[in-house]
Amino acid sequence: MKIAGFVLLQLAALLFTLRHIGAKKRETAFLSSFCAMLEQLGGLLGCEAAPIPELIGELIPRSDGAAAVFLQALAVSMDRLGEYSFFALWKNALGSAPALPEGEAVKALEELGTVLGRYELETQLRAVEGCRAVLCRRLDALRQSLPQTKRLTLGLSLAAAALVGIILI
């Protein structure tokens, strides 16, 4: 019975590790898709300067992952634009994006929603580029730390589970 408990403890530690690493990978995929989408948005804003609903429609087929889900939710909600502010629609659509990370990246995306479609073109372009820079910095940091995080999380959680298991046996 003790050995079964020890094995279950090790499996729980392994499950914790896999969930933690999976969350980091999902955040990396989220940031990657949004960085690509913001790069496309900046390009479209700079060359076409079309209204925001048209830009969103053009961005949907060019995006993937969480950014595509976000853009589709935003496009669906654009018919309520007079009823709600663009920022409210933007924030609501952002909440529907899967694997939404916390912290500076989400704040930068929310701040971008306050600027788009509201200020002059240069201000919007600077806001898009600033948001993209914040997201890309976070993405680069995650990509650099992910291999070490994998090894460290796996090693520490399994070692801690083994130690607790030995103490309990």
Exposed / middle / buried, residue 93 (Cβ in 10 Å: 0-12, 13-18, 19+): buried
| pTM score of the predicted model | 0.82
Q: If pLDDT is split at 50, 70 and 90, which confidence band does 58 have?
A: confident
Q: If pLDDT is split at 50, 70 and 90, which confidence band does 13 have?
A: confident
In this structure, are residues 41 and 67 in contact, taking their beta carbons and an 8 Å threshold? no
In this structure, are residues 59 and 85 in contact, taking their beta carbons and an 8 Å threshold? no
Q: If pLDDT is split at 50, 70 and 90, which confidence band does 167 have?
A: confident
Q: Is the per-residue pLDDT at 35 higher than 90?
A: yes
CA dist., res. 163 & res. 169, Å (int): 10
Q: For the segment 73-125, what is each residue's pLDDT rounded down to a tens digit?
A: 888 888 887 888 888 888 888 888 776 677 788 888 888 888 887 888 888 88
CA dist., res. 101 & res. 25, Å (int): 11
pLDDT for 99: 67
H runs (alpha helix) in the chain: 2-47, 52-59, 65-77, 86-95, 104-115, 121-168
CA dist., res. 55 & res. 125, Å (int): 13
